[in-house]
Structure 1
Amino acid sequence: MSFPAWVSGNKKNETPRSNSGIGKGSVPRGKKPKTRPPSSLRDKAGFLHGTLPKYSGPYSVGVMDIEVPAENPRNFSHITRHDQHILKLETVLMTVYYPTAIGVGSGKDPAGHKKWSRETWLPRPRIKMAKGYGKFAGVGAIAVPWFAATTMFTKLPAYRNAPISQHWPPRDNLQHAGPKVKSESGPPPPGESEEPCFPLMIFSHGLGGTRTTYSSVCGEFASYGFVVSAVEHRDGSGARTFVNHARSGVGSMKERETAGPVDHNEKERRRGYDQIDYIFPKDNPYDTSPSNHKGVDSELRDAQLQLRLAEIEEAYNVIRHIDGGRGGEIANKNLRREGYVGSSSRGLDGVDWALWKDRIHCHRVTVLGHSFGAATTVEILRNADRFQYVGQGVMYDIWGAAVSPPVEEPRHRIHCPLLGINSEAFMYWSSNFDAVHALIDEAKKHGAPSWLLTVRGTIHVSQSDFSILYPQTCAMLLKMTANPKRALDLNVSATLEFLKKVMPQRSAMIDRCFTDEGLLDTEPVEELPTEHKPKEKWMAARLKIPHEFRSRFVPKITRKIRRKRRQNQKHDPNDEIWMHVTSSEEEVTAWNENKSEKGEGDDPGDPGGD
């Protein structure tokens, strides 16, 4: 599945390790996860099939699948397989998660269908996607019955093509007010418009990922008032993806070959689409492993990063066109509609594009990524001249070896706020931890508020949907001890606290409905803990659990006992996270005042211009 991106590391100059003695014990003493009640029979029958939790924010969530021809198709690098370039940009594919209007999910949908449609977690065509995962994981065709028995029919708790919200939420969230909060509205905050304008996030997935692999994270942010563009990369880093081509005209194979130029083989011409599987580096297929002494395949990974950056530029332009009132044009170009591979028969039917005009903040965009996607985030932040609309970045369990060394140009450094969140499994990977620490230091050196923390009891896939859909596998094989839903809460909460601090002019929604847990105000630990550090062969993949039976088979009981003992005690964030680097309130204030003086707090000009 989407397991760790490992790489061998230089063990020189490692951060000193010792047993900190902080929060000993196998099971983190965490809060209960936020309430997310099931919404249908499919979701309630979780014992029969994997289900995803309903989003905890005050908004219901909508999704749109969009694939359109790239404005600037081209090849990346000279790398070929079977005499054909394997890194090429022809279309951009994304799932957009967003807040929806009250009443979504009841009655007929906007296109007049009796039943509202929900996206499947495993993208279509599901059997081919399952085979792609089997090839990626090295288990072959056995992946098909595995997915069929577990998650092939799992659906996202979000409605396809729902109308975007036109209301401000009430002053509460699902955790405190219950499901009714999603059917209520509140008055606009002081100084805000009658209709909310939602900040934009762009999410980049890790190795083996897709645009839906991180639906829990992306949907959570949408439920708190963000528009999230989750890009599906076509750089050979996903298990499998499909590139559609128009029958004729712009986006057709003939047009792409002329405009690119890009190349296709006869099989692709006959079926009308490209199938891109995970690319294993030639002569170094496991360049992601810490024990691989050959190191990372820099030529391939650098080229993939450049393709990813181009895809994110294309995705951003699509969102700008939608915000600028040109959503109808995007719908006409959309290749995720009936008759195309991987598509729903509904396409973008029923979307009222007039509601989307001037509804997205396209400046001070937040870029987030997991693993290789976090390396993509760093590359974007280091190219500020190219990505002037990006305001801050979030790194979830970054694969540090994939990050290109900064060039000599001083501008090619991180100059904006940065948040890094590690899993405990990745924290023990010494060379990788040193790399992420250096990135945080780079941002702080240039005056940008930055934080680095670790969520205890978590593994690399704890920031994706895999740990939620396969909790027993993660607990028994990878030794995850954190509640997977609570791990999701901690990642989302820390991110929202970060955004509240570094983009206060966009925090009206967060202020209204998010409960700040004070995670980023936690004091840093002086030394890194080592009590769960695994043997070298399992580095970054799993944790070492001293009390195996208790942690593998009865973690729920352990957590309940500890919660009962601490009912009247104030929650201590140190029970669930380790803070490594933090920024003071003075540093945050100075940063925001400097931005305000430079006039960088608001969207410059027409946010939806061409």
Structure 2
Amino acid sequence: MPSFPGGLQKNDTSTGEVPGAKAPKIRPPRGWRDTPFLPSRSLPTYTGPYPVATMEIEVPAKNPRSFSHIKREHRHALRLETVLMTIYYPSSHLDEKHAPEDKKHSRQLWLGRPRISMAKGYGRFAGVGDLAIPLFLPAMFTKLPAYRNAPVASYWAPSVDTKDEGTKAKTTQGSKPEGASDEPRFPLILFSHGLGGTRTMYSSVCGEFASYGFVVCAVEHRDGSGPRTYVNHTKSGSGCMAEGDMDGQADHNDEERRRGYDVVDYIFPKDNPLDTAPNSEKGVDAVLRGGQVELRMAEIEEAYAVMCEIHGGKGQNVADRNLRIAGYKGSSSHGLEGVDWDKWEDRFHLKNVTACGHSFGAATVTEMLRHDDRFGYISAGILYDIWGAGTTPPEEGAPHHRIRSPILAVNSEAFVYWPQNFELVESLIQEAQAEPDCSPAWLMTLRGTVHISQSDFSLLYPNVCSVFLKMVANPRRALDLNINASLEFLSHVLPTELAQVNRAYKNENLLETELSPLDRIPSTMLHRPSDKWVAARLKIKHEWLWRLSPSTFHKVNKRRAEKAGRQPETGDEVWLHVKPTPEVIERHMEKIEGRASLKEDKVESAMPMTADAKEHEEAEPVVLPG
């Protein structure tokens, strides 16, 4: 662990909290579900100028197969049979049927169905069993602040900050940029969740991106890294259980065949259930985690193939295969009802895709970036609080197996005090910056945050995070910082044609702040816990007052700062450890702008074709990855 000198920096108040934190963005509620009435918990509405909508899709995999030799109950544990995703996207206020004021329109559940069973899955993952049911009871009524199956936006949003214009910006049509098409084509983001996550656990992050003009495909991984997920199967024909059992890709039991679905719970490593802990004596189960990453990457390939179909005007084919409809486990009766697939054709980009993930999802993104021959359509990566032990080192003797794309790594403060993890994140930054393919890379830490500050859990249960994990940062402000830094990053590294879609975010210049090397940060600004709680929680002064009332604690320290005449500074909330030079960014943009059209032509040929795609190559212009 680096040493921390005790000298103070300019304007340091020596209190240890985040005294100069700015207020979160305005998120006015749109209905009773968004207000804090019990017994429900509400998620904050999104701050971008677009209303947000979602689609829930599960389809049979094009290339089903098993991964690794790992078995549980004498059966393959890591199997790819279907791919499940929630797509978050900018919606249109121009369609009266789906207007934001229409409170009767359906919204997707946050916890998912069946809710009691999902809560039990979380309890098993957390080691508290059925005690999780009362904890999750309020969240069982929570719905995403997004409309299901609403039309995709067909207009350019205004280039104003919703903080200045309020909700009026969400019902206003902006003018198109000079030289742009009448209808915007949105950039695509592929999102990978962390251990214990689901496709809706990060709905605030994904929805925020969508509200600023991005289409986000959040995959639910069936690799045993989530608390619980349900894998549906077609009743007959392609994708049914009998077919999978016959070709040896799966081995279902009689009960699973009868009910027509599998249940995949969190997989604990044998004889090493706490392999993720920093103090684990046996270390990480590399065989299990490596197999999971391979399955995760295959699921993302399958999800991208679905997006290719939708982009190519074949959305109805996806809807015809969809298993998240009435009669299937965990499904809504709405299915994909009401989606106008013709309006989806060519409405988002298949090139220069951004891969984004949290924790183990960020480790997944890292491995995808290292396989640019396989994921040639991905041009940038966002790593939220990466679990470094879940990554594998670059292959020796394979110079192309390394990160050669721009990356933004955002650490929680809790993970900064885990020395092995921080050093690994630094090595990823160095890997991206290495010549001859030097790419822009940023590494930053959000003060006062913990590992789950980048998920919905900190928003739904802020008191749990404050009292037990010692999270000091306002969870909504932490969300703002994550999103603003990410949008600023994408404005630096995406081609102009893609970056111009996002014109409304408030640029706080988080990536331009003065560098704060870890070994130069005063100890009085740190919340380093004892070794027992490394990476799990923070340590704060006057903990008795914090436990009584976190809000009072913040107010007292804010008054102290105001009395001292201290003005908020960006460094109060963010430590920027590494940033590229302007020359590196300029060189990257020259390269990516020059290759943009060429890469679009080559994106199909860079992906392997399935047997099904080869048979229909002439009829199907979109090549599907296997």
TM-score bracket for the superposition, by shorter chain length: over 0.9
Task: Give the counterpart letter for 1:516 in structure 2.
Answer: N
SS in 1 for 2:349: strand
1:50 to 41, 46, 49: 41
In the alignment, what sits opposite 1:507? 499
Partners of 2:81 and 2:248 lie apart in 1 by: 8
- 2:407 is the alignment partner of 1:418: yes
Q: Structure 1 513/496 Cα, relative in aligned 2: closer, same or farther at 3 Å? A: same
Deviation track 1:574-593 (CA, whole Å, cap 9, x = no partner) reads 01011111112221001111
Partners of 2:549 and 2:103 lie apart in 1 by: 44
Q: Structure 1 174/108 Cα, relative in aligned 2: closer, same or farther at 3 Å? A: closer
Q: Structure 1 566/47 Cα, relative in aligned 2: closer, same or farther at 3 Å? A: farther
- 2:576 is the alignment partner of 1:588: no
Q: Which moved more, 1:585-594 or 1:371-380?
A: 585-594
Map 1:132-211 onto structure 2 (within 5 A): 132-148=121-137, 150-211=138-199
2:217 to 221, 226, 229: 229
1:460–1:541 contact (8 Å) kept in structure 2: yes
Q: Structure 1 114/34 Cα, relative in aligned 2: closer, same or farther at 3 Å? A: closer
Partners of 1:254 and 1:81 lie apart in 2 by: 20
- 2:83 is the alignment partner of 1:92: yes
- 2:478 is the alignment partner of 1:487: yes
Q: Structure 1 108/524 Cα, relative in aligned 2: closer, same or farther at 3 Å? A: closer
Partners of 2:399 and 2:491 lie apart in 1 by: 28
Deviation track 1:166-188 (CA, whole Å, cap 9, x = no partner) reads 01011213211111111110111
Q: Structure 1 282/508 Cα, relative in aligned 2: closer, same or farther at 3 Å? A: same
Partners of 1:62 and 1:361 lie apart in 2 by: 18
2:226 to 238, 255, 265: 238
1:26–1:547 contact (8 Å) kept in structure 2: no
Partners of 2:562 and 2:432 lie apart in 1 by: 38
Partners of 2:579 and 2:439 lie apart in 1 by: 11
1:556 to 529, 543, 551: 551
2:469 to 474, 478, 483: 478
In the alignment, what sits opposite 1:340? 328
Shift of 1:598: 3.8
Task: Give the counterpart letter for 1:96 in structure 2.
Answer: I
Map 1:290-305 onto structure 2 (within 5 A): 290-305=278-293
Partners of 1:283 and 1:394 lie apart in 2 by: 33
Aligned-residue CA RMSD (Å): 2.1
- 2:425 is the alignment partner of 1:430: no
Partners of 2:147 and 2:245 lie apart in 1 by: 36
SS in 2 for 1:131: helix
Map 1:18-37 onto structure 2 (within 5 A): 18-19=5-6, 21-22=8-9, 23=12, 24-28=14-18, 29-37=20-28
1:363–1:604 contact (8 Å) kept in structure 2: no
SS in 2 for 1:39: coil
Partners of 2:49 and 2:504 lie apart in 1 by: 7
Partners of 1:590 and 1:346 lie apart in 2 by: 48
Shift of 1:524: 1.3
In the alignment, what sits opposite 1:10? none
1:126 to 112, 115, 122: 115
Task: Give the counterpart letter for 1:25 in structure 2.
Answer: T
Which structure 2 segments of 5+ residues have no match?
A: 605-620
Shift of 1:18: 4.1
Partners of 1:191 and 1:256 lie apart in 2 by: 50
Task: Give the counterpart letter for 1:245 in structure 2.
Answer: H
Q: Structure 1 435/64 Cα, relative in aligned 2: closer, same or farther at 3 Å? A: same
SS in 2 for 1:578: strand
Shift of 1:526: 3.1
Partners of 1:606 and 1:206 lie apart in 2 by: 28
SS in 2 for 1:361: coil
Task: Give the counterpart letter for 2:540 in structure 1.
Answer: I
- 2:542 is the alignment partner of 1:547: yes
SS in 2 for 1:496: helix
Task: Give the counterpart letter for 2:157 in structure 1.
Answer: P
1:573 to 532, 550, 570: 570
2:495–2:596 contact (8 Å) kept in structure 1: no
Q: Which moved more, 1:494-503 or 1:247-256?
A: 247-256
Q: Structure 1 495/46 Cα, relative in aligned 2: closer, same or farther at 3 Å? A: farther
Q: Structure 1 592/107 Cα, relative in aligned 2: closer, same or farther at 3 Å? A: closer
SS in 2 for 1:270: helix
SS in 2 for 1:300: helix
In the alignment, what sits opposite 2:614? none
Shift of 1:606: 8.7
Partners of 1:496 and 1:454 lie apart in 2 by: 16
Which structure 1 segments of 5+ residues have no match?
A: 1-13
Between the two proteins, the alignment pairs up a number of residues equal to 592
Q: Which moved more, 1:438-447 or 1:59-68?
A: 438-447
Shift of 1:357: 0.1
Q: TM-score with structure 1 length normalisation?
A: 0.93
Task: Give the counterpart letter for 1:430 in structure 2.
Answer: P
In the alignment, what sits opposite 1:4? none
In the alignment, what sits opposite 2:529? 534
Q: Structure 1 296/566 Cα, relative in aligned 2: closer, same or farther at 3 Å? A: same
2:79–2:249 contact (8 Å) kept in structure 1: no
1:203–1:368 contact (8 Å) kept in structure 2: yes
SS in 2 for 1:151: helix
Task: Give the counterpart letter for 2:84 in structure 1.
Answer: L
Partners of 1:525 and 1:58 lie apart in 2 by: 33
Shift of 1:504: 3.9
1:595–1:601 contact (8 Å) kept in structure 2: no
In the alignment, what sits opposite 1:397? 385
1:385 to 360, 373, 391: 373
Task: Give the counterpart letter for 2:501 in structure 1.
Answer: M
2:446–2:478 contact (8 Å) kept in structure 1: yes
Q: Structure 1 410/46 Cα, relative in aligned 2: closer, same or farther at 3 Å? A: farther
Task: Give the counterpart letter for 1:60 in structure 2.
Answer: P
Task: Give the counterpart letter for 1:518 in structure 2.
Answer: N
Shift of 1:544: 0.8
Partners of 1:507 and 1:248 lie apart in 2 by: 44
Shift of 1:141: 1.2
In the alignment, what sits opposite 2:72? 81
Task: Give the counterpart letter for 2:535 in structure 1.
Answer: A
1:20–1:527 contact (8 Å) kept in structure 2: no
Partners of 1:591 and 1:324 lie apart in 2 by: 29
Task: Give the counterpart letter for 2:197 in structure 1.
Answer: G
Partners of 1:177 and 1:591 lie apart in 2 by: 34
Shift of 1:566: 5.6
Q: TM-score with structure 2 length normalisation?
A: 0.91
SS in 1 for 2:283: coil
Task: Give the counterpart letter for 2:543 in structure 1.
Answer: E
Shift of 1:103: 5.0
Shift of 1:49: 2.3
